[in-house]
Structure 1
Amino acid sequence: MRAPKLILFDYGQTLIQERYYDRVKGCQALLDHAAPCSRPCTAEELARHLVEVEEAMGRFRTPDGLPTRCEVHNFPFFRYLLESRGVELDLSLEEADRLFWDAAAPGEATEGIGALLDYLDGRGIATGVISNLSFSGSALKARIDRLIPNNRFRFVMATSEYVFRKPDSHIFQLALFKAGVEAEDAWYCGDSPLYDVQGAYAAGLRPVWFTGYLSPLWYHGGEPEVPHLRAASWSELQRILEELE
C-alpha cells in the first residue's frame, strides 16, 4: 500500500456531525417566512407532506429497497412541496434551502478534522468532498467553510448538482477527473458501508470506513462487504498515513 495523492471525504458524520434531522423544525423555519396570502398550514402538516412526497417519488430508495442512483435537487422539490400546499415564501429558493437545513440539522466539525487537513496539506495530499445531498452545492460549501475554516478542498461536490448519487460510480469518476488523479492513487473516507465504502471500492478507490461518528439516523448496522481501511478517529487515519511516509 502506498500513500495517496488524493483523499476525498463524505460530509455527514464524516467531516461534520449532525446530531439530528428534524423535518418539523425545518418546515417551521420556512413557514416563519410564509407570505400573508399563503393558505394556513402547520409545520407538522408540511413535514408529513414532505415525507409522503419523498416516499411517492422514491427519493432515496426504490420501492424494492435499493438505493436510488440519481439525486433530486431541493430547489424543484421545495417548489413542488410548497406550491402543492399553497405556501408562498418571502425568500428565494436558495435562501429557503439553507434556512431549512440550518433549522432541521445544525452541524459541528468532527473532532480532529482540522488537524488532519493541515497534515494532509503539509504532505501535499490533495483533498475534496463528495456528499449525497439534496441541498445545494453552495449551501454545502458555505457550511463546510464556516465549520472547518482551514480546509483547502480542491472542490466540494453535492450530488444535487451532478445528477448521480453514491454508490453510483459516475460521481466518483467525475471527482477523479476533476482532480486529475487515477483511482488507484485516491482514498475515500465516509461513514456509510454501502454508499461510501462499497461505492468507492466499486469505482477503484481505496475506501476508509470512518466509524467515529456513526449515527442511527444513517447507519443501521452491518460491516462493509469489500476490502477497506478502518479509522475510528482522524488521528488514527493520520497514523496510518505516517506509516507510509
Structure 2
Amino acid sequence: MEMKKPKMILFDYGQTLVNEQLFDGVKGTEAVLGYATKNKYNKSAEEVQDYANNLNQELGRFDPEKRHLFQVEVPNYMFTKYLYESQGIEIPLSSEEIDSVFWDAAAPGKPTEGIREFLTFLKENQVRTGVISNISYCGNAVAKRIHDCIPDNDFEFIIATSEYMYRKPNKHIFELALEKAELQPEEVWYIGDQYQCDIVGAGMAGLFPVWYVGAIEMKYEPKVDILTIKHWKELINLIEKLD
C-alpha cells in the first residue's frame, strides 16, 4: 500500500494511546461489590469473578488467539446486569458507573510514552485524529478514560464498539469512522497494537495500517510488509518527510 501523508489518523485505545496495567478482574469486582446493597449468597469478589470468567469463556470473549474471530461486541451493561443479578447481588449504580468503578480498579492506565507529543505534532500539522476501540465498556466511560489520561487531545470522535455492535477487524466499524470523518480510506491511517484486529482489519478496509508495538508486553512476530514502530518519535520523523 502506497504511503502518503494522511489527512487523518485513527487510533486504537488500549496499549496504543494508553498503556494499561495487567488486568486484575478480582480487584475490579471487589471495587464494584463495595457498593452492593444486597449480596444474597455472600459471594466474594473471587467467586463472582470466577463466574464471570466462565461466562466469558462460554461466549468466546477475550481469547487472545481467537478474539479477531469474535466480531460482534457484547456491551458490559448487558454482561454485568446478568452477572450480578444472577448471583443475587444488587449494585445501586448505573451501568456507566459500574464500568468506570470496575475498570479503574482492574486496569489503571497511563499515556504511552510520547503519545501526547505525537498528538500535538499532528494538530500542528493539520492532521485530524479519532479513535476506534474494541471495548465492552460504555462509550462515555471510554471517552472519560481517554480524556483523563490525555486531557489535551483533539479527537473528533471516539468510537467504542460497545455502542456500535461491530468489532474490529470487521470492515463495518472502519466504514463508520470513515463516514464520520467524511474521508476516503486511502486518506486515513489506522494505528493499533493488535495485529489481526487492528492491522489486518484496517488494511482490509483500505486504510493504511501502522503497527505500534511500544506497549506490547508479549512477543510479536515482525511483518516485513507492515510499517511497525516502537516509539511515536519514529512516526514524527516519517511524516515530516511525506508530501
Counterparts of 1:149-228 in structure 2, within 5 Å, are: 149-216=151-218, 221-224=220-223, 227-228=225-226
1:34 paired residue among 25, 33, 36:
36
Q: TM-score, normalised by structure 2?
A: 0.94
How many Å separate the matches in 2 of 1:184 and 1:66? 23
Q: Do 2:9 and 2:130's aligned partners in 1 also have CA atoms closer than 8 Å?
A: yes
Higher mean C-alpha displacement, 41-50 vs 84-93:
84-93
Q: 1:134 aligns to what SS in structure 2?
A: coil
1:119 alignment partner in structure 2: 121
Report the AA paired with residue 6 of structure 1. Answer: M
Counterparts of 1:1-245 in structure 2, within 5 Å, are: 1-36=3-38, 38-60=40-62, 67-216=69-218, 221-224=220-223, 227-245=225-243
Post-superposition shift, 1:230? 1.3
Q: Do 2:129 and 2:155's aligned partners in 1 also have CA atoms closer than 8 Å?
A: yes
Post-superposition shift, 1:19? 1.8
How many Å separate the matches in 1 of 2:94 and 2:69? 30
How many Å separate the matches in 2 of 1:64 and 1:31? 30
Report the AA paired with residue 22 of structure 1. Answer: D
Q: Do 1:61 and 1:68's aligned partners in 2 also have CA atoms closer than 8 Å?
A: no
1:109-138, CA deviations, whole angstroms, 9 ceiling, x for partnerless residues? Answer: 011111111111111111000010000110
How many Å separate the matches in 2 of 1:65 and 1:171? 15
Report the AA paired with residue 96 of structure 1. Answer: I
Post-superposition shift, 1:56? 1.2
Post-superposition shift, 1:61? 5.2
Q: TM-score, normalised by structure 1?
A: 0.93
Post-superposition shift, 1:65? 7.5
1:70-120, CA deviations, whole angstroms, 9 ceiling, x for partnerless residues? Answer: 001000100000011111012222111110000000000011111111111
Coordinate RMSD, CA, aligned: 1.8
1:207-237, CA deviations, whole angstroms, 9 ceiling, x for partnerless residues? Answer: 0000111123xxx63345x832111111111
Q: Do 2:7 and 2:188's aligned partners in 1 also have CA atoms closer than 8 Å?
A: yes
Aligned length: 241
Q: 1:50 aligns to what SS in structure 2?
A: helix
Over 3 Å counting, the alpha-carbon distance change for 1:66 and 1:149 in structure 2 is closer
Q: Which runs of 5+ in 2 are unaligned?
A: none
Q: Do 2:68 and 2:169's aligned partners in 1 also have CA atoms closer than 8 Å?
A: no
Identity of aligned residues (%): 45
Q: Do 1:62 and 1:68's aligned partners in 2 also have CA atoms closer than 8 Å?
A: no
Q: Which runs of 5+ in 1 are unaligned?
A: none
Over 3 Å counting, the alpha-carbon distance change for 1:63 and 1:193 in structure 2 is closer
Report the AA paired with residue 183 of structure 1. Answer: P
